[in-house]
Each structure stands twice: as structure tokens, then as C-alpha cells.
Amino acid sequence: MVVAVGTALSTQHMLHAPYVTWPEVSTAWHESLRLPGALAAGFSAFAAASIFTSRSPISLPIRPRLGGRAVATHIAGVAVWALIGHVLGMMPVTAYAVGSATWGHLRILDVLVSLAGLALVVASGFVAGVVIRSAKVAPPLVAIAALVIMQLPNNPLLRPLALLQPVQQWTTSDLKFVPNTAVSVFSFIFAVVGILAAVATADAVLCGLRRLGPAHIAWALAPLVLATVAFAWRPELYVDSGKRPQVCTSVHDVPVCLHEAHAKSLDTVAETVASLQSAGAEPLINSVTGESVSDVNTSRQGNAVISLNLTPDSPRLAAQTVPEQVAIQVSTAAAVPAGPCSSRQHHDLGALVRHRILTDAGYGHVADLFTSTFPDLSEAEQVLEEMSSAQFADFVAQRHETIVACQLTTQDVTEL
């Protein structure tokens, strides 16, 4: 139940999105294990410390009679409940994907990596509990250690650790990339080997050195060998899918294309582009392309490359909804293009034009958050504010080449 609640809490934000994509849900099967995995490890350590405490009826001289089979039975018992909890916790978002996703399917390898990885975390926690043998100390210590270990792949030097655990620190929503099949298979194999090594280690700890044999040593060394392979290999965790199915529409002769997985957002994106065009940005927008189907990752003069974040990580982010995200990205590509600005003044004047476009399009609250005050451009700012919508549209039409090239000057604004 604890694992189910932990998984549900880790994925509940996805249920607030207008829809979810299968790649996101598949990734969530293992990336959501940070909290439930730590809880499962702590509970497993508690179970082991409670069963095999030195004051337990299962102690010397009875304890040596316990073999790997008994240890495996205890680990399997805890793991089964943890796996059931994780599956139950993932059911709401998986069911939501069945009803809302427009492309793809649940990736079985992601599910296998998550389940095998969770079982490995449980087995590791059990071994730690056997070693510590304190039901008060083991659970919090093991849970905290699990949280820290699952965070380590964020460090570039420790990135290969992602191959050795279910939480691989993958958070991008770019559908161009898919998990590397070889990495997923390696992670699954490591989890299975790690579980067997945990059973052998717990058996050795409980039964003492007298029964320590070559098999125990071999299983203990196997994960170390695989870990060495992971660090020597250092593969790309995710690779280009090579498949970019897209859906397209046109807004006043401006093509708008998104990945098929975002088909439900196409109308929303088109409406947002139309509102920006009606606010005077029509001469500045040549195309709008989703990042997942674009050959480039950054916007270029008038050609906006947009990414859609259906579940923003923080409620403090200015652009929370899809229309707000599209509005700021397209208007930025139109008026404040990255690269060609030769001076800070050119950039700031472009930002003022963007502010006016966003305001007239109905996104003034977003415009205010993305535009600073420019004391040295107060005259140009005042002129832009005092323009009527028709005058501003005429201004953009006359100066669109200068704006797109990020060469707008104060004189260009004030001489009107």
C-alpha cells in the first residue's frame, strides 16, 4: 500500500494534463520509483532486521540451517508486495494514456526494467537489514541511502550508474528520442544478477564464513563486473527514434506541424498562432514546428521550433498552459531571434515588440513576466505603447525584415 501511494503521488501530476503520451507513461514506470523505491527499500530493511535480529528465535544455533532458499523466500515475499503496489500505483496514469494517447504504445522493456529494478532495490534493502539488524536504525538509513543512490546519475561522472538502477534521470519530453534497447536489456540483466547476488550475500552473512563457497564469491563479484562494464561502456541511454510521424495544418499560409503524439494540441497551437498573427505578428512568422519533428532544436528567424510541456515541473513557471507556452516561444522566435542580434539594444527593442504582440494577443500576464524594463529605451517603449493595434500592425509590416533580423533601432520606432 505504501509503495502504491508513493507511485501514485509521483505520477499524479500527469493526470492533470489535457492528455499524456505513451513515451512519457513508459518512462514514468521506472522514473517514478525514486520515492516508492526508497520506501520499499526501507520496509525491506525493516523486515530483514525484524526477522533476523540477534534476539530473534531464528538465531544461533538454528540460524545456520537457513540457506539461500529461505532468504530468497523472504525477499520474494517483500518484493511481490512492492511490485503489486507499484503496478497499482501506475494504473491510473496508464489507464489515462489508454484513453487519451494518440500515438505509440506502452514499452514493455520500460515496464520490465521498472519491475526488476524495484525488486533489486527491495533485495538490496533486505541485505542491508540483515547486516544492520536493527529495526529502528535500518529503515531510515536504507531509505535515505536509496534516495541518494538514485540521484547519483545526475552527476555526469556517475552517469553510468543509471544502467544499474531503475531511476535513470530521464526527464525530457522530446519524442525524437527513445530508450536505448541495449541499455534497457543491460539494466534488466543487472537487476536479475543483483537480486541473485543479494540472496547469496544475505545467505553468507547469516550462515557465517564456514559455509562461504565459490558460488557466494562468484555472485558477489558478478554485479561488480557488470558495473565495471557499465562504466567502461558508457553508452547513450537514449537514441534517435528515426520515426517522426506528424500532423500538420496551415494558419494563414503558415504551416504548423506537431508530432502525432501531440495531435490533440494541434488545434490549440493553431489558434494561438492565429491570435499572434492577428496581433500584428503575421509578417514575422514563417513556420511553427514541434521540436519532436524538427531537424533543428532551436528557432531561427521567423521559424519557430516549439516544445510542449503538458505537466510543468513548477507552478511558479510563467507559461503553464499549452497556449501560453506556444505564445511565448513563437513570439520570441518572431521578434527576439537567437543569434543574429548584434547589440543589446537590438535585442531589447525586439523584446518590446514581443511584449506588444503578446499583450494584443491576450497574453499580457505572460508578457509582463518575460519582459524587463528598459530605462534607456523609454521613448521607444512609449511610442510602441501608444500605437493603436492597426498602427502597430502597419509598423510590423513595414519593419518585419529588420525585426526578424534583430536589427531594429530606436530611430526605426520613433520616426513613425
C-alpha cell at 382: 512609449
CA 109 to the chain's CA centroid: 17
CA 203 to the chain's CA centroid: 38
**In the chain, what's the furthest Cα-to-Cα distance?**
97
In the chain, which stretches have pLDDT less than 50? 56-65
Q: How far is CA 308 from CA 21, 201, 280, 328, in A?
A: 11, 47, 24, 12
pLDDT (0 to 100) of residue 57: 46
Q: What span, in angstroms and rounded, lies between the C-alpha atoms of 186 and 166? A: 11
User: For 19-150, where are the E strands, in sequence order?
Assistant: none
**What's the pLDDT tens digit per position in 293-320?**
888 888 887 889 998 888 766 555 666 7
In this prediction the pTM is: 0.84
Q: Is residue 373 classed exposed, middle or buried when 0-12, 13-18 and 19+ CB atoms within 10 A define those classes?
A: exposed
> How are strands ordered across the β-sheet holding 287-290?
246-251, 254-259, 287-290, 303-306
Phi and psi at 27, nearest 5°, equal: -65, -35
pLDDT (0 to 100) of residue 62: 43
SS3 107: coil
Residues 6+ apart with CB under 8 A from 250: 256
C-alpha cell at 322: 499549452
CA nearest neighbour of 39 among 168, 143, 134, 121: 143
Question: Domain residues of the chain, as ranges?
Answer: 2-240, 247-414
Q: What span, in angstroms and rounded, lies between the C-alpha atoms of 308 and 54? A: 56
* Cis peptide upstream of residue 61 (ω within 30 degrees of 0): yes
Q: What span, in angstroms and rounded, lies between the C-alpha atoms of 367 and 376? A: 19
pLDDT (0 to 100) of residue 317: 61
As beta bridge partners, residue 251 has 254
First to last CA, the chain: 68
Q: What span, in angstroms and rounded, lies between the C-alpha atoms of 259 and 273? A: 17
Q: How far is CA 320 from CA 150, 240, 269, 307, 324, in A?
A: 28, 28, 14, 13, 7
* HSE-up (13 A, CA, CB side) for residue 400: 18
Interior CA angle at 388 toward 337 and 321, to 5°? 50
User: Are 155 and 50 spatial neighbours (Cβ–Cβ below 8 Å)?
Assistant: no
DSSP line for 192-260? HHHHHHHHHHHHHHHH-GGG--HHHHHHHHHHHHHHHHHHHH---SEEE-----EEEEEETTEEEEEEG
User: Are 42 and 6 spatial neighbours (Cβ–Cβ below 8 Å)?
Assistant: no
Q: What span, in angstroms and rounded, lies between the C-alpha atoms of 258 and 245? A: 9
C-alpha cell at 381: 517603449
Site of grid cell 538454528: 62
Residues 6+ apart with CB under 8 A from 366: 318, 319, 324, 327, 328, 358
